[in-house]
Amino acid sequence: MTQVKKLWPLLTGTYRYDKSISTFNRGRGQQIEAPILAYLLETTNGRILYDVGCDHGKISDPVARDRYYNPAVFKFGAPEMRDEQRIPHHLARLGLTAADVDVVFIGHLHFDHAGGLKELRRCGCGAEIHVQHEEMDVARSGADKAIFSDDLVDDAGAPLQFRLQRGEYTLLPGVQAIATPGHTVGHMSMLIELPQGPPVLLAGDAADLQENLDDEVAPGTLWQGREQQAIDSIRKLKALARETGAHIWPNHDMAFYRTLPTFPLACE
Ligand SMILES: [Zn+2]
């Protein structure tokens, strides 16, 4: 019996970029606008966030923005993130604060997924932060330029405390971590059983777009060029969806996002 009561997609920002970033060797020269999403789950046993979006400070502060997102040093450029898109503001609209989040599950450590950790900490979030140990090894090595090491420390520069995980596991009844490497070394998706209706399978960046799923195209950004591993992860998600009846939610697909309930409406 699932412990999940509700699921909210949270729009934390938007990003205009070349489509080839989402679809390997496809769409070069075509600009797309992508949502940057986080997901909040309410369960009978606490609240879980899947991903936390970008660090607003690195986008809103001109000095930090130039340091992190100047296109001369960072090819993707800066996302758009409005003040009201910060996760603490979403929580406030539900009558909650950062202290009401019990587990933060980070699918992978890229800046548009883990950047919000710093602000949550600042706002009193004491949640366990789950991430795969291999993700953290890569972050520490500095080998992945889409991970900002400053996102993984608090305002005083002390490392955030992560609960490092190895492989797939059940967070609680109805919430399962599913390994989908390829985009990053330890990328994780999440299978969520809702009280009613089909389960939801959050692809994370294993599938940015519906097209990645339909055509079995790898994401454009791959850890060490692991295209086949990324395709295998897409096939794994599709097989799991067939087996469980789950709907797969691509992570950066604006057209798909617009079909979801608009916050503060939830899936329940
Ligand atoms: Zn992403």
| pLDDT tens for each residue of 8-55 | 999 999 999 999 999 999 999 999 999 999 999 999 999 999 999 999
Domains, the chain, with CATH or none: 4-257 (3.60.15.10)
Cα-to-centroid distance, 186 and ligand 1 (Å): 14
At which residue do the structure tokens 């420390």 appear?
A: 153
Going from the Cα of 83 to the center of ligand 1, the distance in angstroms, rounded, reads: 20
Strand order in the sheet with 169-172: 169-172, 175-179, 188-192, 200-204, 247-250
In contact, 184 and 143? CB cutoff 8 Å: no
Question: From the CA of 111, how far away is ligand 1's center (Å)?
Answer: 8
Q: What is the mean pLDDT of the chain?
A: 97
Q: Can you tell me the mean pLDDT for 169-181?
A: 98
Distance from Cα 96 to the centre of ligand 1, integer Å? 26
Nearest residue to 244 (alpha-carbon basis) of 185, 198, 175: 198
Q: How far is the CA of 252 from the centre of ligand 1 (A)?
A: 7
Q: How far is the CA of 138 from the centre of ligand 1 (A)?
A: 16
The distance of Cα 194 from the centroid of its chain, to the nearest Å, equals: 19
**Do 103 and 127 contact (CB within 8 A), yes or no?**
yes
Tell me, in angstroms, the distance from the centre of ligand 1 to residue 249's CA.
Answer: 13
Distance (angstroms) between ligand 1 centre and the Cα of 37 equals 8
Residue 72: its pLDDT value, please? 87
pLDDT digits (tens, 9 = 90+) for 42-99: 999 999 999 999 999 999 999 999 999 998 888 888 999 999 999 999 999 999 999 9
* Paired residues of 11 in beta bridges: 37
Quote the ligand 1 centre to 1 CA distance (angstroms).
Answer: 31
* Percent of the chain's residues with pLDDT above 90: 97
The pLDDT, as a whole number, for residue 133 is: 98
Task: Report CA(112)–ligand 1 centroid distance (Å).
Answer: 5
Residue 36 CA to ligand 1 centre (angstroms): 7
CA–centroid distance, residue 205 to ligand 1 (Å): 5
pLDDT band at 262 (very low <50, low <70, confident <90, very high): very high
Binned at pLDDT 50, 70 and 90, residue 204 comes out as very high
**What does the alpha-carbon distance between residue 37 and residue 23 come to, in Å, rounded to a whole number?**
18
Cα(142) to centroid of ligand 1, in Å? Answer: 18
Place of tokens 């999940």: 4
Per-residue pLDDT tens over the stretch 111-127: 999 999 999 999 999 99
Give the pLDDT score at 97: 98
pTM strictly above 0.85: yes
